[in-house]
Amino acid sequence: MKNRVITISREFGSGGRTIGKMVAESLNIPCYDAEIIQKIAQESGFSEGYIQEAGEYAPGGVLSNVFSNRAYGPTNEDYLWKIQYQIITDLAQKGPCVIVGRCADYILRDTADCLKVFIHAGLDFRAKRIVEVYGEREASPEQRLRDKDKRRAAYHRFYTDKKWGQYRNYHIALDSGVLGLERCAQIIESLY
């Protein structure tokens, strides 16, 4: 029998990770995010910081680097993708859970009963939030958000062949900036 898994894709700064934790706590199931990174780190021998960067984002330059160097075989990113794929598959087989990011919706398409969620928010809301929550102090948080979004989209597209944020790929998409994080969490819980 397939386990029920809530997968949350999200724009950077939209509060998707926070919503995932709220949902998991309320449903009393685990939420995987940093844990996955750590496990990837342990199993692969890559430094944790490198994995955090490469594990979800296409390298700088968005499209140029992500496609490079494969003439000489798989890249480091390709190895990370494989490790991550296996870990997420294993976690979902252990029991019901929430998984934030990491293309889990795609990875678990055949092996879990997924509720596929996408969280987004306006640039103003996210810019304000990354300054408050992450203490980002850059001159232009908006530019940083756009860059992060682009890299997530490029990574997602490359490994899953599906467009990140395309409504067809999600059962529910929510604007956390307008609806609020708590309300988003309540809706997701009610659907579980």
2: contact with a copy of itself by CB under 8 A = no
Q: Is 179 in the site for a copy of itself (CB under 8 A)?
A: yes
Interface pattern 85-124 for a copy of itself (x via CB under 8 A): ---------------------------------x-x-x--
Among 50, 67, 79, 167, indicate the residue that binds a copy of itself (CB under 8 A): 167
Sorted by sequence, the CB contacts under 8 Å of residue 74 that are 6+ apart come out as: none
How would DSSP label each residue in 42-89?
HHH---HHHHHHHTTS--TTTTTTTTTTGGGS--HHHHHHHHHHHHHH
Among 3, 144, 173, 192, contact with a copy of itself (rule: CB under 8 A): 173
Give the residue from 14, 15, 49, 20 showing the smallest Cα distance to 32.
20
Which segment (77-85, 90-98, 133-141, 162-170) binds a copy of itself by CB under 8 A? Answer: 162-170
108 in Cβ contact with 96 (< 8 Å):
no
Of the candidates 17, 41, 45, the residue with the CA atom closest to the CA atom of residue 31: 17
Q: How many residues bind a copy of itself (CB under 8 A)?
A: 19
Least distance CB 69 / a copy of itself (angstroms): 33
Q: Is 62 in the site for a copy of itself (CB under 8 A)?
A: no
Q: What does each C-alpha distance from 92 to 9, 95, 101, 172 come to in angstroms?
A: 16, 6, 14, 20
Q: Is 34 in the site for a copy of itself (CB under 8 A)?
A: no
Half-sphere exposure of 169 (CA within 13 A, CB side): 22
User: Residue 34 or 191: which CB sits closer to a copy of itself?
Assistant: 191
187 touches a copy of itself by CB under 8 A: yes
Which positions lie near a copy of itself, rule CB under 8 A? 118, 120, 122, 165-168, 170-175, 178-179, 183, 187, 190-191
